[in-house]
Structure 1
Amino acid sequence: MARSKTSSSRSTPSAGRTGTIRLISGQWRGRKLPVHDVEGLRPTTDRVKETVFNWLATEVRDSRCLDVFAGSGSLGFEALSRFASYVMMIEQEPKAARQLQTNLNTLQCTQAQVICRDALQVLQAGCHEPFELVFLDPPFRKNLLSQVIPLLEQQGWLADRALIYLERERDGEAPAIPPNWQLLKDKQAGQVCYQLYLREKPSS
């Protein structure tokens, strides 16, 4: 997954090169999609992505997915390749968002929507049809998870028993996790730690 440096993307310097993401499995297995690098793109390794989708192996098909900090769309496109019913990709950086739409057009995929806006503003607006699978991989060292997680809970973005993938820097402060989120998986790779949570319906 590549993410940009804005509040809708992940962060690491880039030199303006054009790269690719590779889809691991599903209908577009082995397909490579171009990534228009912008300042701050930080790709996640294929190894981490493969681990995540092994965790989600039986959960992706027919699910509604939300990629809050979409960047290159690596997670969102992987979910679509594995027959997710719908993916919303939120990406603030215009060049990255345009590349997401271009790649959707190339794949002739109509089961996804790209929203080029600040992720926090989008989440604050609320949601009327919740998501079963959510990817959270924000820029490092910007404390965005502590802002995003409450919005997901409070503004109706999460279905009962939604699965939430969370990725953050290993040396950063862990965000507060709602008491109704159950930790299912927890791994580290280099300077990154990543978890999978199951959301239970909050007790009244």
Structure 2
Amino acid sequence: MQNKLRIIGGAWRSRNITFSDAPGLRPTPARVRETLFNWLHYDIAGKTCLDLYAGSGALGFEAASRGAKSVVLVESNAQVCLSLKNNVAMLSAQQISIAQTEVSRFLAATAQGFDVVFIDPPFTKDLVPTTCLTLENNGWLNPHAKIYIETERSLTLSGLPANWQVLKHKTAGEVAYQLFERG
């Protein structure tokens, strides 16, 4: 089954992207994306972005639409990656690349620095602390990088790098989302 979501801002505003059904895939709701990109208003254009656990690609496509220099989508599900590739082709999104692999495997490779990182893993898998520590400890983050984390509302985040400072946080329904800055 194909699902659709609308890009809410930037060059591709009002364009639809499609995504496949997959276990644990739940695109970031439009109102949460709108809030997030209001928070990041001055931190996207010309920046390098990494969308871990990309799923529908909503966050990465939104960043690219708003002028990100480059976006890497990391997703392990082959069918979901096919949808991502089709959306890249449909939008002629040359600034977006797709890494079809597990996030842990991707982050074990040679690091490159990113300005903005989106972390929205499947709920109830407890992937956030390890992912965050790997990003920090293995050189994936540029100085003052912004890190967005989306989790189930009931989850208490702990074990994050000590030099990350919370800039913004909100909840919407069963989702909690926070924006951090690397100090």
TM bracket, shorter-chain basis: over 0.9
SS at match of 1:185: strand
2:86 paired residue number: 102
Larger RCO (alpha carbons 8 Å, 6+ apart): 1
On the 8 A contact 2:49/2:115 being kept in 1, the answer is yes
CA distance, structure 2, for counterparts of residue 174 and residue 136 of structure 1: 13
CA distance, structure 2, for counterparts of residue 40 and residue 183 of structure 1: 26
TM, length-normalised to structure 2: 0.97
What percent of counterpart residues are identical?
42
On the 8 A contact 2:28/2:59 being kept in 1, the answer is no
Q: Which has the higher strand share?
A: 2
Q: Where does the alignment leave 5 or more consecutive residues of structure 1 unmatched?
A: 1-16
On the 8 A contact 1:188/1:194 being kept in 2, the answer is yes
Question: Are 1:53 and 2:37 matched, yes or no?
Answer: yes
Question: Are 1:84 and 2:68 matched, yes or no?
Answer: yes
Total equivalences in the alignment: 183
1:157-195: CA deviation from partner (whole Å, max 9, x where unpaired): 000000000011111232312111111001011111110
On the 8 A contact 2:76/2:100 being kept in 1, the answer is yes
CA distance, structure 1, for counterparts of residue 22 and residue 123 of structure 2: 16
Q: Where does the alignment leave 5 or more consecutive residues of structure 2 unmatched?
A: none
Large movers: runs of 4+ above 4 Å = none
1:40-79: CA deviation from partner (whole Å, max 9, x where unpaired): 3212210011000000011100000000110010000000
Q: Could you tell me how far 1:125 is from its partner in structure 2?
A: 1.7
2:156 paired residue number: 173
Letter aligned with residue 141 of structure 2: L
Letter aligned with residue 188 of structure 1: T
Question: Are 1:40 and 2:12 matched, yes or no?
Answer: no
1:9 paired residue number: none
2:170 paired residue number: 187
CA distance, structure 2, for counterparts of residue 156 and residue 149 of structure 1: 11
On the 8 A contact 1:26/1:81 being kept in 2, the answer is yes
CA distance, structure 2, for counterparts of residue 106 and residue 55 of structure 1: 28
On the 8 A contact 2:24/2:123 being kept in 1, the answer is no
TM, length-normalised to structure 1: 0.87
Question: Are 1:121 and 2:132 matched, yes or no?
Answer: no
Letter aligned with residue 193 of structure 1: A
1:71 paired residue number: 55
Q: Over aligned residue pairs, what C-alpha RMSD do you find?
A: 1.0
Equivalent in 1, 5, 9 of residue 25 of structure 1: 9
